[in-house]
Copies of this chain bind each other. A is one copy, B any other.
Amino acid sequence: MEQVTIKDIAKMCGVGVSTVSRAINDHPDINPETKSMINQVIREQGYVPNNSARNLKRTEAKTIAVLVKGMNNPFFTSMVKSIEKEIKKKKYAMVLHHVEFDEDELDAALELVKEKRLKGIIFLGGNFNHSEEKLGHLKVPFILSTVGCISDVISKNTYSTVSVDDVKESYRMVDYLIQSGHKKIAMITASVGDGSIGKLRLTGYKQALQANQISFRQELIRPMKDTLEPYSMENGYQVTKELLESGEEFTALYVISDMMAVGALRAIHEAGKKVPEDYSLAGYDGIELGRYITPTITTINQPIEEMAKETIGLLFDILAGKKQHQHKVFPGKIVVRESTKKI
């Protein structure tokens, strides 16, 4: 595997390595002729600079990383796209990295920082309950965007967050269902062990019930299955199926994510029932699919574009020393579509 290096190119061109380096990196101090000659040879040889060596040598690179937990959720896909657009505007490079639900995003971040000389990190999704000690090792500024609850152990001024108020938005949705005449509202939420987003949204649910003098019934709360992929259609499908078969009465079903709501939709259909005639169905996230599926799904829309803008804007302001770490909360928007109705 005789890989061609910068030295080989230099030799072939009869110049020094630094000259080749200058040609590659568009340095000013170089004769245009030598430069084009070198580029010619580079192309012929199919020479590609070794990124490892570059990263090793470079003191700082204009790159920021985006770490996504849970690649299956299309909500994050949209988020990443918006973020990427913003990063490109700033003439920075983005590296995208997925971590599985059972992986440690902080470990991944720590590695990436060393490897790529990152300027900053954006975490998307997941829970992020890490010890302060370990977090202390992460020296670059980072922003938690759409991340679940953060253990309050960590002082809030070491990082930023950008998200919607999950309790409030969840409240908004449940309250809307109640105002629509629903009293028996079932909910599919995160698994019991999950202390994050699922818990917050459940809190919103409880508050809405309480504010409307409806008593809370544990039987209506259905955690997603640990045995299936979290937030997946299959998970929503199975849980809904069990709910229906349990015979538990309800008129509305509030599902913690749109993807799961799609599964719920199918389970209801297969049970011979209709949405919204027999059951109203509400989701959360505002993914694209919710607008295309029939019936279209009533949901809480997270302002993806704005959140992405804010995330990047904030990160760069912090990098420039213009701002301190902050905790931005964006208002969600309830989008009423075909899957819910008044009763």
A49: nearest residue on chain B (CB-CB)? B114
Give Cα A56–Cα B98 distance, bound, in whole angstroms. Answer: 23
In the complex, what's the smallest C-beta–C-beta distance from A330 to chain B, in angstroms?
Answer: 24
Chain B residues with CB under 8 Å of A192's CB are: none
State whether A262 and B237 are in contact (beta carbons under 8 Å apart), knowing that A48-B114, A269-B294 are contacts in the complex: no
A106: nearest residue on chain B (CB-CB)? B46
Give Cα A288–Cα B263 distance, bound, in whole angstroms. Answer: 10
Question: Which one of A19-27, A30-38, A131-139 is at the interface?
Answer: A131-139
Chain A residues 229-255 with CB under 8 Å of chain B are: 233-234, 237
Chain A residues 45-74 with CB under 8 Å of chain B are: 46, 48-53, 55-56, 71-72, 74
On whether the beta carbons of A288 and B233 are closer than 8 Å, the reply is: yes
Chain B residues with CB under 8 Å of A110's CB are: 46, 48
Chain B residues with CB under 8 Å of A265's CB are: 292, 294
Of the candidates B72, B133, B140, B263, which one forms a contact with A292 in the assembled complex, judged by CB atoms under 8 Å apart? B263
Chain B residues with CB under 8 Å of A266's CB are: 291-294
Chain A residues 280-295 with CB under 8 Å of chain B are: 288-289, 291-294
Give Cα A79–Cα B308 distance, bound, in whole angstroms. Answer: 29
State whether A53 and B51 are in contact (beta carbons under 8 Å apart), knowing that A77-B72, A234-B288, A294-B269 are contacts in the complex: no
Copies of this chain, tallied across the complex: 2
In the complex, what's the smallest C-beta–C-beta distance from A238 to chain B, in angstroms?
Answer: 11
Give Cα A110–Cα B43 distance, bound, in whole angstroms. Answer: 13
At the interface, yes or no: A115 with Cβ under 8 Å from chain B?
Answer: yes
A266: nearest residue on chain B (CB-CB)? B292
Give Cα A236–Cα B186 distance, bound, in whole angstroms. Answer: 34
Chain B residues with CB under 8 Å of A136's CB are: 46
At the interface, yes or no: A213 with Cβ under 8 Å from chain B?
Answer: no
In the complex, what's the smallest C-beta–C-beta distance from A152 to chain B, in angstroms?
Answer: 22
On whether the beta carbons of B289 and A262 are closer than 8 Å, the reply is: yes
On whether the beta carbons of A52 and B56 are closer than 8 Å, the reply is: yes
Chain A residues 62-100 with CB under 8 Å of chain B are: 71-72, 74, 77, 96, 98
State whether A292 and B262 are in contact (beta carbons under 8 Å apart), knowing that A1-B139, A52-B56, A139-B1 are contacts in the complex: yes
Give Cα A140–Cα B1 distance, bound, in whole angstroms. Answer: 9
Give Cα A262–Cα B265 distance, bound, in whole angstroms. Answer: 15
A110: nearest residue on chain B (CB-CB)? B48
Binary CB contact string for chain A from 271 to 310 against chain B (1 if under 8 A, 0 otherwise): 0000000000000000011011110000000000000000
Chain B residues with CB under 8 Å of A194's CB are: none
* Best-buried of A111, A233, A292 by chain B (most CB within 10 Å): A292
State whether A114 and B46 are in contact (beta carbons under 8 Å apart), knowing that A233-B288, A233-B289 are contacts in the complex: no
Chain B residues with CB under 8 Å of A292's CB are: 233, 237, 262-263, 265-266
Q: What are 10 A-to-B residue pairs whose CB atoms are below 8 Å? A: A46-B136, A46-B137, A48-B107, A51-B115, A52-B115, A72-B77, A234-B288, A262-B292, A262-B293, A266-B294
